[in-house]
Structure 1
Amino acid sequence: MKTEAFQNLLLKSAISVMACDGSIDDSEIAEIRNMADNEIYFMGFDIEKPFEETLGYIKENGKNAINEYLNELNQHQLNSKQELLLIEVLIRTIESDNKIEDSEIKFLQMVKSKLSVSEETIITQFPQQMKYLIDFHNYGLHEEFTDEIEFTSDN
Structure 2
Amino acid sequence: MKTEAFQNLLLKSAISVMACDGSIDESEIAEIKNMADNEIYFMGYDIEEPFKTSLSYIKQNGKKAINEYLNELNQLNLNEKQELLLIEVLIRTIESDNKIEDSEVKFLQMVKSKLGISEETIITQFPKQMKYLIDFQNYGLHEEFTDEIEFTADN
Report the TM-score, using the length of structure 2 for normalisation: 1.00
SS of the aligned residue for 2:75 comes to coil
1:76 CA displacement: 1.0
Alignment of 1:56-95 (within 5 A): 56-95=56-95
Deviating above 4 A after TM superposition, structure 1's stretches of 4 or more consecutive aligned residues are: none
Aligned residues: 155
1:125 CA displacement: 0.1
Please, which runs of 5 or more residues in structure 2 have no aligned partner?
Answer: none
Say if 2:140 is the partner of 1:150: no
1:75 CA displacement: 1.2
Say if 2:103 is the partner of 1:109: no
SS of the aligned residue for 1:74 comes to helix
- One-letter code of the match for 2:38? N
2:20 alignment partner in structure 1:
20
- One-letter code of the match for 1:44? G
Mapped to 1, the partners of 2:69 and 2:48 lie a distance apart of: 19
Mapped to 1, the partners of 2:110 and 2:124 lie a distance apart of: 19
Mapped to 2, the partners of 1:64 and 1:43 lie a distance apart of: 30
Mapped to 2, the partners of 1:46 and 1:15 lie a distance apart of: 15
Mapped to 2, the partners of 1:142 and 1:148 lie a distance apart of: 15
Mapped to 2, the partners of 1:118 and 1:38 lie a distance apart of: 28
Mapped to 1, the partners of 2:3 and 2:74 lie a distance apart of: 18
Please, which runs of 5 or more residues in structure 1 have no aligned partner?
Answer: none
Cα deviation per residue 1:14-44 (whole Å; 9 max; x = unaligned)?
0000000000000000000000000000000
- One-letter code of the match for 2:116? S
Say if 2:104 is the partner of 1:119: no
Mapped to 1, the partners of 2:55 and 2:6 lie a distance apart of: 18
- One-letter code of the match for 2:118? S
Say if 2:108 is the partner of 1:141: no
